[in-house]
Amino acid sequence: MKTILISVLLIMTIPSYGQKVYTFEPFVISDYPKEDYLITTDTFRFGNLLIESRMIRNNSGYNPFSCRAWLTIYKTGNPIYQKYIKDIFAVGACYGLFFPSSQPRKDYFILTKLGDYDGNIFIIDSLGNVTIKIGGEFYISKDNRYLFSNYASDDSGLTIYDFKEGKVLFSSTLGNYISEWYFQDNKYITNSGIPYSKDTTIYYSFDLTANKLVTFRSDPNYLKKANKLNIYNERNSMRDCNCGLERLPDSLQWKIINRQH
């Protein structure tokens, strides 16, 4: 245990301000009897790192928890980062930890946590440094430089990350809800969904010089489908939606799922 704690301190973690922090508890399989829980483990090779996700789903409901999760990053067999989430509440839509079917870049590894009406985006670099911000499903610019992640919450919010510079450009809640992201007229744009008048809609564009959102008005059909950015971890298309369990399972029989990617 001492080695684990020392190793964790060597890795920088940048948390989201809305994120819950729990005292770490190790996974003990005997705590989760087969009659009551579904255990899902995913492992991913990322350069010289191994990323492991373990989720425990309570098949009987919400007591004492709905979904519990561990995220561990190993280097040469030793854990250098551990994240424990004691309870991911099953509200809003899908809940648990989610990994895109493919990563947009080779030098970063990205995943999302959904549930609690408090989505997070996890951005892991090749050294194992982890940035955690508000987010959910995410969009990647066509040149693979920028990430745009909309906040999966009752509140509206947004995180924008610059892979080239390795830093967060923007991360904040917003007054209005936003939707899909586009690159059009040399700007990154999203629709606020707010009609300004019968013939105009309010849009947001992101100013990369000032690192801020700018509102403007245009035709409701202004954005063109061909200019939409690629989306990852889209909530409406994820199969294992319920803490590792498929949306419409044939049964709730306990089993251990181990998936290597």
- 111: exposed, middle or buried (C-beta count within 10 Å: 0-12, 13-18, 19+)? buried
- What per-residue confidence (pLDDT) applies to 256? 57
- What per-residue confidence (pLDDT) applies to 3? 25
At 201-211, the pLDDT tens digits run 999 999 999 99
In the sheet that holds 49-58, the strands lie side by side as: 78-85, 67-75, 49-58, 37-46, 256-260
- What per-residue confidence (pLDDT) applies to 260? 64
- Alpha-carbon distances of 87 from 25, 93, 154, rounded to whole Å: 12, 15, 18
Stretches where the chain sits below pLDDT 70 are 1-20, 92, 236-239, 246-257, 259-261
Question: What 3-state DSSP class applies to 172?
Answer: strand
The length of the chain is: 261
Domains of the chain by residue range: 2-166+231-260, 181-228
Q: Which residues are paired to 228 by β-bridges?
A: 182
- What per-residue confidence (pLDDT) applies to 14? 41
- Alpha-carbon distances of 139 from 114, 144, 156, 160, 190, rounded to whole Å: 16, 10, 16, 10, 11
Backbone angles phi, psi at 36, to 5 degrees: -120, -15
- What per-residue confidence (pLDDT) applies to 13? 42
pTM of the model: 0.86
Residue carrying structure tokens 């946590």: 113
- What per-residue confidence (pLDDT) applies to 234? 83
- What per-residue confidence (pLDDT) applies to 193? 75
- What per-residue confidence (pLDDT) applies to 250? 45
